[in-house]
Amino acid sequence: MTTDSISRKKILIEIGVFLLITFGLMLTFGWKAFSESDKENVMTGLDMLFYYLTTFSPAIGCIVTRYIFREGFRDDILFPKFTGNFKGYFLSIILPILFGILNFIFITIALGAGFTVKAEGGVLEVAATFSLYSMMTYTAAFILIGEELGWRAFLYDKLEKLTGLHGSIIIGGTIWGLWHIPPLITMGLNFGKNAPGFPITNTCLMCIFCIFGGAMLQMLRRMTDSVIAPIIAHAVIDTICNPIATIFLSQKLAEGKNFQMGICMIISSVLIGMPCWIYMVRQSKDNSKG
């Protein structure tokens, strides 16, 4: 056995252990953690515990695997490296906002909605809602450490060593998408429960979304050599971009159209993720030439 094959085998085992922990936690507790909440079904303390266990499952997987294989965090990935990486951090805010705007434009076109301020309080209410969501970016960033620490700070890097850049984006994105199966089924996350071929279609679409979304986040991770930039970008997507549609679109118009809106989200993610992917390929070529 050559050294190369031994190290490949080690990486494979590492990924296996990581996936076992991450998916084990998600598939055990995810069904209860992401159950559809309504007025009668109030979230209990136990539900909250399950929620944190599942959202932090990639981070738990990463930490445990790194501990088992005595890897530690010597790669310095947890530290924000602001000096010389301004572009990466700037893009970590700009790209998600661009994604949100594109998403909103496509939804407007697809649903024939036009630009209407749904809020009763007009522009002031919209500004207040955005303000509230922008504050939530900080709390969301904390929760998203749980995801990014596992995906961008572990899985994608390991996969890249095994399969190269394209493999890491496609396989990593697919794994990331599959990880969302419990909320996809219980809550109809992003695509709703009325999607044709539910839940298979939803799962496939989520994988596509995660492949291109993952490309964007991985580019930011590589640009800054830190996991902080993807955390910021992910938090901005979750707290500011997604609510854009819900603020501007009338409830009546959007009701039962989750699937169409989900498709619009995928188109936006492809448009944002593709250039990021190409950029990474060029960067890799430049590095190999250098």
Partner 1 sequence: MRGLIYKDLYLIKSKVIAGSSSVLFIILLMYVVYATVGGKALFPTEMAAVITDLMIVMYVGALSYGYIIKTDTKKEWGFYGMALPGSAKLIVGAKYMTVFIMYLISYLICVLNDLMIGLFFGKAVDMSLLVLMYMLFNLFLNAIEMPLAFRFGTDKAAGIRIFITIVVVLIISIYLLFGNIEWLMAEDGLVKIIIRLIGDNANSGAVSDELQRFINRLTYINYIEMAVFTHLMVFAYYISYRISCKVFKKGVLRDDN
Site for partner 1, rule CB under 8 A = 42-49, 52, 76, 79, 83, 121, 124-125, 127-132, 134-136, 138-139, 142
**Least distance (Å) between residue 83 CB and partner 1:** 8
Which residue, 90 or 138, has its beta carbon nearer to partner 1? 138
DSSP code of 152? I
Which residue, 49 or 94, has its beta carbon nearer to partner 1? 49
Q: Is the Cα torsion angle 104, 192, 94, 244 positive or negative in sign?
A: positive
**Least distance (Å) between residue 76 CB and partner 1:** 7
Which residue, 119 or 267, has its beta carbon nearer to partner 1? 119
d(CA 219, CA 7): 25
Which residue, 132 or 281, has its beta carbon nearer to partner 1? 132
**Least distance (Å) between residue 81 CB and partner 1:** 9
If you write DSSP's letter for every residue of 197-256 in order, what string do you get?
A: TTTHHHHHHHHHHHHHHHHHHHHHHHHHTSSHHHHHHHHHIIIIIHHHHHHHS-HHHHTT
Torsion region of 198: left, alpha or beta (phi above 0 gives left; psi -120 to 50 gives alpha)? beta
Is residue 35 within 8 Å of residue 47, measured between CB atoms? yes
**Least distance (Å) between residue 52 CB and partner 1:** 6
* Amino acid type, 55: T
**Least distance (Å) between residue 27 CB and partner 1:** 21
3-state helix, strand, coil in the chain (%, to 5): 80, 0, 20
Which residue, 131 or 194, has its beta carbon nearer to partner 1? 131
Which residue, 96 or 177, has its beta carbon nearer to partner 1? 96
Is residue 192 within 8 Å of residue 259, measured between CB atoms? yes
**Least distance (Å) between residue 267 CB and partner 1:** 30
